[in-house]
Amino acid sequence: MNDPLLAIIQAALILGLAPLVTGIIRKVKAVLQSRQGPPILQPYYDLQKLFRKSSVVSSDASWVSIITPYVCMAAMVVAALLVPVFVTASFGSLGDLIVVVYLFATARFFMALAALDAGSTFGGMGSSREMMISSIIEPAILLAIFSAALITGTTDLAGISQVLVVGGYDLVRPTLFLAFAAFFIATLAENARIPFDNPATHLELTMIHEAMLLEYSGKKLALMEMASMTKLVLFIAIAWSAFFPFGMATEVAILPVAIGLIAFLVKLLLFALAIALIESSMSKMRLFRLPNLLTGSFILAFLAVMSFYIL
């Protein structure tokens, strides 16, 4: 089923819910740590405040720093158009998972380049760390996706969701669980969550993602923050639609669409709660220990592929 209007509606839902998911994670972490914490809607207020402010650009920065926020946000919007959320619909064959992964890579490349472009010491440090992590985690993501593609016979995300929903529990194999575990670790790494990075810290010696945003302010910072929030929701949507899309609608009717929407919201909440629980029970790992965990994700993805042929 390919309907551009449905893809636009689902993309708008992802963009609209992105700050809310971040607010839920922050609130749950505060409750688990016996703090009151900010309101759940605080990310919306922060973005509104930033969009009202003007941006200050370093005198050493070039056009790279100027266009990067727009490139990052555009990449997330295009990716949102290609990821089915509650209905297995997208822009046809353009909704390929590999295309989505490299949209994320494009945003990461420009973000790292802009951090170097400003000439900031901390920006360069964050860029080098980000590239180190991405060089290990990208193969794991692709292998995890390849596992789902092996079962369904396609790398089109809408096609994967459609086959798994129609096939039901007959297609549930250990391969999917291993691939999902690998993708979950990759989600934490790609979105700068604990134990890979602490999104709430501004301690210069430990920052990775935040170090690349230090030179941004005002509207440009708002775009970068919105792109990061959207990326997290996109990874959650991909994790469920590519591995366990049960509940998604396969036809455009009121009841199936309503069930699909409720199922997505429940899955989104469960994923947010899991992230908050992990970040409240673990501390950030040392930088030189991160490759061990990242390699574990790659091994899980590799085992997922091997289990498809063995089991």
Interval 5-58: pLDDT, tens: 888 899 999 999 999 999 999 999 999 988 998 999 999 999 999 999 988 887
Task: Report the share of the chain in percent with pLDDT over 90.
Answer: 48
* Cβ neighbours of residue 216 closer than 8 Å, sequence gap 6 or more: 55, 69, 224
More confident call, 200 vs 81: 81
Question: Considering the entire predicted model, what is its pTM?
Answer: 0.93
Virtual CA dihedral for 250, 233, 197, 124, nearest 10 degrees?
110
Three-class SS state of 7: helix
Domain boundaries, the chain: 4-310
Report whether 165 contacts 246 (CB < 8 A).
Answer: yes
In this prediction, residues 218-243 reach a mean pLDDT of 94
Most confidently predicted of 29-33, 47-51, 98-102, 164-168: 47-51
Q: Give the pLDDT confidence of 242-258 residue by residue, as tens digits.
A: 898 888 888 888 898 99
Residue that wins the pLDDT comparison between 284 and 25: 25
- 171 pLDDT exceeds 70? no
Q: For position 6, what pLDDT does the model report?
A: 83
| Pair 138, 101: CB distance under 8 Å | yes
* Six-digit token string for 164: 């798994």
Q: What are phi and psi of 208, to 5 degrees?
A: -125, -70
Give the pLDDT score at 93. 56
Instruction: Let me know if 310 is exposed, middle or buried by CB neighbors in 10 A (0-12, 13-18, 19+).
Output: exposed
